[in-house]
Structure 1
């Protein structure tokens, strides 16, 4: 897929109807030969829309007007390129806990959670947040995570979490203003509800910091998993992470995680992990596949706003 096709696909499948600003901007970049040439100087993994747009926002650039974005990006390309080369998309959307909860609540309790690609670890607190599935509410904490659930009954309890840890190549710290600024820059422009959610979830993590380890998802997973209490059910999970890992690394990770005791929850795009058969997704929008121990269970939206159960 060419860079232009990547941006056009992002506009059509990921942000259409969700972020008009980014839809307009992605379509403009897809037809902007000067910006496409600049993006072509970056490694393939560093050309993605979310990374470019997040870096421009971090540097104070405009994203509402494509012409102003073009001028800013061209004039400031050395600074933008430098940031894109060293950063990765580390969107830490606590809302994704809403699509994980039906699986987490059904596992043998208590749980020891180990998130791969944890960023700042905000998805390690599914027991501390509250959830609203239509008229059904679970939990009493903050933030309250709204999720449209179809195909199964909503969960009736929160999980009991006795240990939580995260593994990331570059863990972020919610008490570091620079790290929080990057997390904020990755939130799409119109999504003020997600900015409020970030602040509330960050307060939860800051009050009881998780164990975050800098490391590789293949080489360093076994040692971290070994620290989990043996009396708890170990759950290794990840969401919208493995697309950043080359295919051989994904296969190696799957082999490692299958060799662990406990359970494995994956929430990734359908072309990231291999499943024998998947039903037709609910629409042409971008969906992840929620799977438990290699068995697909549901289609989920990227920020946890909807789950369509088929398992």
Structure 2
């Protein structure tokens, strides 16, 4: 797709009904020849809407009004470009734990969790958060992760996690205010509940920061997995990560993770892994596919707000 089409698709499929500000902004960028020209100077994977909008927010620029966004972006492009080139969309949405939980709770316990593309590692604490699936509540404390569960009974117990580690090309630290500020900037403007959730999850993780290793998802995965305790079930998982790498790297990663003991839990766009025939997703939003060891199980919303089971 062209950059213009990418932004129009983002507005229609991702931001519509979820973020009016980003829907307006993405449509405006899709028709803004000057900003499109600037974006074309970047590598293709650096042109994505979330990265551009997040960097402008991080720098204190306007994202509510498209005209103001245009003026700010054009006037400050050298600074914006420099940030885009060294950053990545590392959205660390703890709410995704709510759609992972039905799978994690059903695996042989205890668990050794290894997240690929971990960002600051906030999804490595599914045992420390509270959940609400409709009227069914599990766990206590903050944050409370709310999720609509369709076609699946909510779990009745939290998983037991005895080891947690993350692999990322640029791991972020929950104890570093600048890193948390970047995570905050990646949250869409109207989502105050997600901003509060980020702060609460970061407070949980800061009590016992995870083991985060700077490394490649293929080359460095086996060595980190080998550090997991042998008496726990290894679970390698990832959410909304593989779309950022090439098809060849996705295939190499899938081959590498299948050689490991334990289980592989993926939560990704349906186009990035070869699932074969899938049922039609629910209408009205963009959905990921939750899979266990390569077998698709459910449709999930990107921030963990809904799971629709079909497996």
TM-score of the pair, normalised by structure 2: 0.99
Describe the SS at the equivalent of 2:42.
Answer: coil
Displacement of 1:284 after TM fit?
4.2
Displacement of 1:215 after TM fit?
0.3
Aligned to 2:171: 171
Gaps of 5+ in 2: none
Aligned to 2:147: 147
Residues 25-75 of structure 1: per-residue CA shift (max 9 Å, x gap): 000000001000100110000000000000000011000000000000000
| Residue 231 (str. 1) matches residue 234 (str. 2) | no
**Partners of 1:250 and 1:308 in 2: how far apart?**
25
Query: Which residues of 2 match residues 72-91 of structure 1 at below 5 A?
Result: 72-91=72-91
Aligned length, in residue pairs: 311
Q: Do 1:239 and 1:268's aligned partners in 2 also have CA atoms closer than 8 Å?
A: yes
Aligned to 1:2: 2
Q: Would you identify which runs of 4 or more consecutive aligned residues in structure 1 move more than 3 Å?
A: none
Query: Which residues of 2 match residues 206-225 of structure 1 at below 5 A?
Result: 206-225=206-225
**Partners of 2:141 and 2:268 in 1: how far apart?**
27
Displacement of 1:142 after TM fit?
1.4
Gaps of 5+ in 1: none
Residues 105-132 of structure 1: per-residue CA shift (max 9 Å, x gap): 0000000000000000000000000000
**Partners of 2:78 and 2:283 in 1: how far apart?**
39
Describe the SS at the equivalent of 1:105.
Answer: helix
Q: Do 1:169 and 1:214's aligned partners in 2 also have CA atoms closer than 8 Å?
A: yes
Describe the SS at the equivalent of 2:257.
Answer: helix
Aligned to 1:194: 194
Aligned to 2:156: 156
**Partners of 1:283 and 1:46 in 2: how far apart?**
29
Aligned to 2:180: 180
**Partners of 2:213 and 2:20 in 1: how far apart?**
36
Aligned to 1:17: 17
**Partners of 1:141 and 1:99 in 2: how far apart?**
19
TM-score of the pair, normalised by structure 1: 0.99
Displacement of 1:104 after TM fit?
0.2
Aligned to 1:287: 287
**Partners of 1:2 and 1:153 in 2: how far apart?**
42
**Partners of 1:232 and 1:141 in 2: how far apart?**
26
**Partners of 2:57 and 2:259 in 1: how far apart?**
41
| Residue 115 (str. 1) matches residue 115 (str. 2) | yes
Describe the SS at the equivalent of 2:106.
Answer: coil
Q: Do 1:12 and 1:285's aligned partners in 2 also have CA atoms closer than 8 Å?
A: no
**Partners of 2:102 and 2:266 in 1: how far apart?**
13
Cα-Cα RMSD = 0.5
Displacement of 1:141 after TM fit?
2.7
| Residue 252 (str. 1) matches residue 252 (str. 2) | yes
Aligned to 2:129: 129
